[in-house]
Amino acid sequence: MHIASGAAGREARRQTQMIFQDPYASLNPRWRVGRTLGDPLHAFTPTLRGKVLAERVGALLHAVGLSPEDARKYPHEFSGGQRQRIAIARAIAAGPRFIIADEPTSALDVSVQAQILNLLRELQQQLHVTYLLISHNLAVVEHMSDTVGVMYLGRLVELRRAADLFAAPAHPYTRLLIETVPSLHRIGAPRSPLSGEVPDPHHPPSGCAFHPRCSLATERCRVERPVLQPVLGGTVACHAAQGGRASR
């Protein structure tokens, strides 16, 4: 990946921010919250200093449901959910257009996961920011996403609108993933347990990497890797889906 240098690179870094999985590990334990939030503000707007900078830090804390007084505290003085709020405040400090959120709730207590997800949605509407949310939790994905990309062994196998994908998954792997999620809507629906082990990504199977575990695999799947092609309003990398064989 090419990272631009100079002014263009600086602007790209401002517009793209990150929320990490473990908020405790992603915050400097020796920095007060005021410095953690003030640093990116000052870095991208060097004229921000002193009282004005402190007010901006207070406004950021308020935006994520914390108190401006919290700027004086250290990360260990907060709960896990509060620490993730600080990490979110840091991510939005520079006014990004695009935020990568890597499993932002998986390290949190279940009782606060919904609060953090709702906060992310509120901020998205206020700030008009785009999220790339990475998650293994399909309930979180369904709740948060407009468009979903499903990956298997490091490759994108299905990319579709969330509502369409959850209503009628096109790729056999996506279907198996969705079938594993308990749902009142799917009581009595036929299930096909996922068999076999996940292959070594350094030595993936020939052709379609999913073929050793796929009930629809044919000889073509063993020799020819499918590429993403238009299917059901999105794109899917599967010979069966592209040939209309995978719909149930």
Answer yes or no whether residue 238 interacts with ligand SF4 by CB under 6 A. yes
Token pair 């517009």 in the structure block, residue = 15
Answer yes or no whether residue 217 interacts with ligand SF4 by CB under 6 A. yes
**Both structure tokens of 145:** 């996403």
Q: With contact defined as beta carbons under 8 Å apart, do 29 and 75 qualify? A: yes
- State the Cα–Cα distance between residues 147 and 164, nearest whole angstrom: 9
Answer yes or no whether residue 174 interacts with ligand SF4 by CB under 6 A. no
Question: Would residue 21 be called left, alpha or beta, if left means φ above 0 and alpha means ψ between -120 and 50 degrees?
Answer: alpha
**Binds ligand SF4 by CB under 6 A, chosen from 43, 138, 153, 216:** 216
User: Which residues from 134-173 bind ligand SF4, rule CB under 6 A?
Assistant: 172
Answer yes or no whether residue 232 interacts with ligand SF4 by CB under 6 A. no
Sequence-separated (6 or more) residues with CB below 8 Å from residue 247: 168, 170, 241
Contact segment (CB under 6 A) with ligand SF4 among 17-25, 94-102, 133-141, 237-245 equals: 237-245
Q: With contact defined as beta carbons under 8 Å apart, do 51 and 43 qualify? A: no
Q: With contact defined as beta carbons under 8 Å apart, do 27 and 75 qualify? A: yes
**Binds ligand SF4 by CB under 6 A, chosen from 23, 40, 169, 226:** 226
Tell me how far, at minimum, the Cβ of 247 lies from ligand SF4, in Å. 12
Tell me how far, at minimum, the Cβ of 220 lies from ligand SF4, in Å. 7
Closer to ligand SF4 by CB, 38 or 226: give it: 226
Closer to ligand SF4 by CB, 126 or 229: give it: 229
**Both structure tokens of 35:** 């410095």
Contact segment (CB under 6 A) with ligand SF4 among 46-54, 81-89, 105-113, 213-221 equals: 213-221
Answer yes or no whether residue 221 interacts with ligand SF4 by CB under 6 A. yes
Tell me how far, at minimum, the Cβ of 140 lies from ligand SF4, in Å. 24
- State the Cα–Cα distance between residues 80 and 86, nearest whole angstrom: 10
**Binds ligand SF4 by CB under 6 A, chosen from 214, 231, 232, 234:** 214
Answer yes or no whether residue 178 interacts with ligand SF4 by CB under 6 A. no
Strand ranges inside the chain, DSSP E: 16-19, 98-102, 130-134, 147-152, 155-161, 229-231, 234-236
Tell me how far, at minimum, the Cβ of 206 lies from ligand SF4, in Å. 11
CA dihedral 86, 90, 96, 97 (to 10 degrees): -30
- List residues binding ligand SF4 (CB under 6 A): 172, 208, 210-211, 214, 216-217, 221, 226, 238-240
